[in-house]
Amino acid sequence: MEFKSKNLLSKIATNDGHGENSPYFDGWKAYDSNPFHPTQNPHGVIQMGLAENKLCFDLIKKWILENPHASICTAQGVDKLNDIAIFQDYHGLKEFRKAVAKFMGTVGGNKFTFDPNRIVMSGGATGANETVMFCLADPGDAFLVPSPFYAGFGRDLRWRTGIEIVPVDCKSSDNFRITRAALKEAYEKARKWNINVKGVIIANPSNPLGTILDRDTMTSIVRFVNEKNIHLVCDEIYAATVFGSPRFISIAEVIQDMDDCNPDLIHIVYSLSKDMGIPGFRVGIVYSFNDRVMHCARRMSSFGLVSSQTQYLLASMLSDDEFVGNFLRESSKRLSKRHNVFTKGLEQVGISCLASNAGLFFWMDMRPLLKEQSLQGELELWRVIINEVKLNVSPGSSFRCSEPGWFRVCFANMDDETVEVALDRIRAFVLSQENQEPDESKHWQKKPLPLSFTSSRLYDETIISPHIISPQSPLVQATT
Ligand SMILES: Cc1ncc(COP(=O)(O)O)c(C=O)c1O
């Protein structure tokens, strides 16, 4: 017997808002079906599309071994089992909120004191970003998002909330800086289309650029949202990945020093997924300066609480000042070293990257290698890199970059030996391309044409399918 399945499920269940069915996953599939292993599969695909921080696991492991009382699943900690296992208050453990607030302050150079009573839990920054959207906007309302932006925003901000994303095009000619003019243009365009703009969301440091926002830029964005009376959400998930000067400045510090800012418009999203390299712990934070948003987000946090076992462990770990100080220093040292090895290695064959001092990735300029300055040209090159060079890097269109030819390369999810293999492969590929075009041996140094993709009205997943990746997909994670 045949059952009719039409309209059996909701629109959310049947739309493609999650993004997992996109061709982008060809890259993941290529990796999944042929993963690199130094001895067992040396010709396999190297995963460089995952923004994971695996460089300091040894420090966390060491702390856990030295502090068995902090885990309730040890002889030393099991006495706490009853208290912790039944704890389910959505305010979270007091010690956890205190420790996280202190950690956020330390990461920001102790220029601002975060209030533990404003710390609201969520399931990673993924849940935190969605929670903030639920608090600030209704279906059909829009947020302006400077592009290129984190590919998961499509899922996190829009899928279940029904809000829209209006990209703010930032240009390579301006180092992808967020300008007031670009914000204004996107805002006015949205208004012309009768879209109700509720705010701006930025990631600082930026994913995928690896750059940080300077104080002047942030002040200008704050002024903009104040003038328009819309919200500003700052996703500071990469705050502690800054590995060189200038230092990271939290939006909290910026507005503290301004006397013409309405704090009710400012909200921070944070997470320990990148800064501590523990995305599996699902520690996300909403920190809002708006009391009503904070209270609403806290009620909503029932849908994505951090397990009390995790809270208990982290309360203890993050209150250990010596550990935290050493971890943050060592982490940025290791990130800096890795970033240097990669970018200098690429420089040797004429590949340049956007200057950056943060993140778990860099933004590689492959424009001179495009056969055609277009989205198609970018995707063609991307396929060659995946299928022939066997590196899973992410094309700029995944991040809704308006100029073809940029690729995000993750560098902190592999060991030193794999880095060398990846570098050797890229160098060999570049040299082989140069040999194919002997007359144009200097084409690496040429300035590419500043062509752009045609700007779509909104962030529309059906237009440039690879930009709807969800790099943190549990489906993908389960197999990597
Ligand atoms: C800018 C940004 N926000 C949010 C997330 C989601 O992080 P989490 O693992 O904490 O949910 C990511 C993950 O890559 C990200 O890059």
Question: Ligand 1: which of 100, 156, 206, 207 to mutate, most ligand atoms within 8 Å of CB?
Answer: 207
| Closest-lying ligand 1 atom to the alpha carbon of residue 123 | 11
Residues 137, 20 share a domain: no
Ligand 1 center to residue 430 CA distance, Å? 32
Over 70: is that where the pLDDT of 25 sits? no
pLDDT above 70 covers a percentage of the chain that reads: 88
Asked whether 323 and 81 are in contact (CB, 8 A), the reply is: no
Question: Ligand 1: which of 156, 204, 472 to mutate, most ligand atoms within 8 Å of CB?
Answer: 472
The distance of Cα 83 from the centroid of its chain, to the nearest Å, equals 35
Residue 3 lies in a domain: no
Residues 379, 289 share a domain: no
pTM of the model: 0.90
Residues 83, 47 share a domain: no
Closest CA to 345 of 284, 395, 409: 409
Confidence of residue 421 (pLDDT cuts 50, 70, 90): very high
Give the H or E element holding residue 271: strand 266-271
* Residue nearest (by alpha carbon) to ligand 1 atom 4: 125
Ligand 1 center to residue 396 CA distance, Å? 17
* Residue nearest (by alpha carbon) to ligand 1 atom 7: 125
- 233: three-class secondary structure by DSSP: strand
23 vs 178, which has greater pLDDT? 178
Residues 265, 233 share a domain: yes
Residues 147, 29 share a domain: no
Residues 156, 255 share a domain: yes
Q: How confident is the model over 213-226, as a mean pLDDT?
A: 98
Residue at which a domain ends, from 277, 303, 323:
323
Residues 343, 203 share a domain: no
Residues 98, 40 share a domain: no
Residue at which a domain ends, from 287, 302, 323:
323
The string of pLDDT tens digits covering residues 305-348 is 999 999 999 999 999 999 999 999 999 999 999 999 999 999 99
Over 50: is that where the pLDDT of 61 sits? yes
- 408: three-class secondary structure by DSSP: strand
Q: On the CB side of 37, how many CA atoms lie within 13 Å of its CA?
A: 8
Q: How confident is the model over 265-272, as a mean pLDDT?
A: 98
CATH of the domain at 113: 3.40.640.10
Closest CA to 391 of 438, 428, 434, 339: 428
Asked whether 367 and 448 are in contact (CB, 8 A), the reply is: yes
User: In sequence order, what are the residues at sequence separation of 6 or more whose Cβ sits closer than 8 angstroms to the Cβ of residue 477?
Assistant: none
Closest CA to 354 of 337, 370, 342: 342
pLDDT for 22: 59
Residue 63 lies in a domain: no
pLDDT for 165: 95
pLDDT for 453: 44
Q: On the CB side of 327, how many CA atoms lie within 13 Å of its CA?
A: 26
Sheet of 394-395, strands arranged across: 352-353, 361-365, 406-410, 394-395
- What is the span of the domain harbouring residue 241? 71-323
Confidence of residue 286 (pLDDT cuts 50, 70, 90): very high
Residue 6 lies in a domain: no
pLDDT for 414: 94
Ligand 1 center to residue 272 CA distance, Å? 9
* Residue nearest (by alpha carbon) to ligand 1 atom 14: 51
Over 70: is that where the pLDDT of 475 sits? no
Asked whether 374 and 382 are in contact (CB, 8 A), the reply is: no
Over 60: is that where the pLDDT of 438 sits? no
Q: Which residue is associated with the tokens 């970059």?
A: 401
332 vs 255: CA distance, rounded Å: 26
124 vs 290: CA distance, rounded Å: 21
Strands (E), 84-196: 119-123, 142-147, 164-169
Q: Which residues are catalytic?
A: 150, 235, 237, 274
Over 90: is that where the pLDDT of 440 sits? no
Residue at which a domain ends, from 271, 299, 323:
323
Q: How confident is the model over 397-403, as a mean pLDDT?
A: 93
Ligand 1 center to residue 194 CA distance, Å? 30
Confidence of residue 433 (pLDDT cuts 50, 70, 90): confident
Ligand 1 center to residue 248 CA distance, Å? 18
- 293: three-class secondary structure by DSSP: helix
Ligand 1 center to residue 207 CA distance, Å? 9
Residues 337, 318 share a domain: no
Over 60: is that where the pLDDT of 445 sits? no
The string of pLDDT tens digits covering residues 70-102 is 999 999 999 999 989 887 888 999 999 999 999
Q: How confident is the model over 149-172, as a mean pLDDT?
A: 94
Residues 146, 277 share a domain: yes
- Burial annotation 441-457 (CB, 10 A radius, 16+ → b, else e): eeebeeebeeebbeeee
CATH of the domain at 472: 3.90.1150.10
User: In sequence order, what are the residues at sequence separation of 6 or more whose Cβ sits closer than 8 angstroms to the Cβ of residue 55?
Assistant: 277, 331, 334, 335, 338, 412
Residues with CB under 6 A from ligand 1: 51, 124-126, 150, 152, 203, 207, 235, 237, 271, 273, 279, 284, 471-472
Most confident of the following: 99-108, 154-163, 425-434, 444-453: 99-108
The string of pLDDT tens digits covering residues 182-201 is 999 999 999 999 999 999 99
Question: Ligand 1: which of 157, 270, 271 to mutate, most ligand atoms within 8 Å of CB?
Answer: 271
pLDDT for 452: 40
Quote the number of domains for the chain.
Answer: 2
| Closest-lying ligand 1 atom to the alpha carbon of residue 149 | 1
End-to-end CA distance of the chain: 39
pLDDT for 23: 53
Q: Tokens standing for 457?
A: 């009205």
User: CA-based angle 25:417:426, to the nearest 5?
Assistant: 55
Residue 148 lies in a domain: yes
The string of pLDDT tens digits covering residues 229-260 is 999 999 999 999 999 999 999 999 999 999 98
pLDDT above 90 covers a percentage of the chain that reads: 78
Closest CA to 394 of 94, 30, 97, 128: 30
Residue 1 lies in a domain: no
Return phi, psi of residue 137, to 5°.
-140, 155
Residue 2 lies in a domain: no
Residues 88, 47 share a domain: no
Most confident of the following: 186-195, 426-435, 441-450, 459-468: 186-195
Residues 82, 54 share a domain: no
Confidence of residue 17 (pLDDT cuts 50, 70, 90): confident
pLDDT for 479: 29
Residue 5 lies in a domain: no
28-32, 52-56, 254-258, 411-415: least confident range: 28-32
| Closest-lying ligand 1 atom to the alpha carbon of residue 129 | 4
Asked whether 270 and 240 are in contact (CB, 8 A), the reply is: no
Residue 141 lies in a domain: yes
